Amino acid sequence: MHYRGPLHSNASICRLQEIRRAIHPQLATLWDSPALAFRKEEWSHPAKRQVWLRDRQSFQFIPLINQRLYSIAALHITLLRPGELGSVLKKSGDVDNRLKTLFDALRVPDSNQIPRDDVPQNGETPFFCLLDDDALVTEVAVITDRLLEPSENSNWVDVGP
């Protein structure tokens, strides 16, 4: 997965939803891959949908890493951000809280973590998230480096594997 945009250390629910929207199409593509065909087939049976769907306001979220199926995740993240090398803690926000924002955007939100007037857009039913809950992350490896593109926004990042 890849995300390019602002990543604040204390993001609003609107910003978290924007990050989810940036990642959703990538996860939808993954859902359609042959590697996940067995899960998609399971989801298509009405009796088994409860294993997958998480209803939140007008959204139906599907987490690919699902606690009801006893799956877990190891995340390996490369975080590129503007600024000089060594400035990761001084000028571009603390890494741990920015990662917490990313983890919050990767998981199915609670109902109060979706903007009240937000509704699914075209292609967002179901809405794919990586994680049912961020407690399913059992390993995290993070590499931070300098984003070699000019940016006026110190919160701008390029996050990928």
* pLDDT tens-digit map of 10-38: 899 999 999 999 999 999 999 888 877 77
What pLDDT score does 90 carry?
Answer: 55
What pLDDT score does 93 carry?
Answer: 55
| Number of domains, the chain | 1
The CA dihedral of 24, 48, 51, 121, to the nearest 10 degrees, is 30
What pLDDT score does 52 carry?
Answer: 82
DSSP code at position 152: S
Is the pTM higher than 0.85?
Answer: yes
- Per-residue tokens: 160: 């990928």
Q: Which domain holds residue 119?
A: 3-160
Asked whether 65 and 131 are in contact (CB, 8 A), the reply is yes
* Average pLDDT of the chain to the nearest whole number: 88
Q: For residue 110, name the pLDDT band (cuts at 50, 70, 90).
A: very high
- Per-residue tokens: 137: 């992350």
pLDDT digits (tens, 9 = 90+) for 92-106: 457 888 999 999 999
Mean pLDDT of all residues in 33-56:
78
Q: Is 82's pLDDT higher than 80?
A: yes
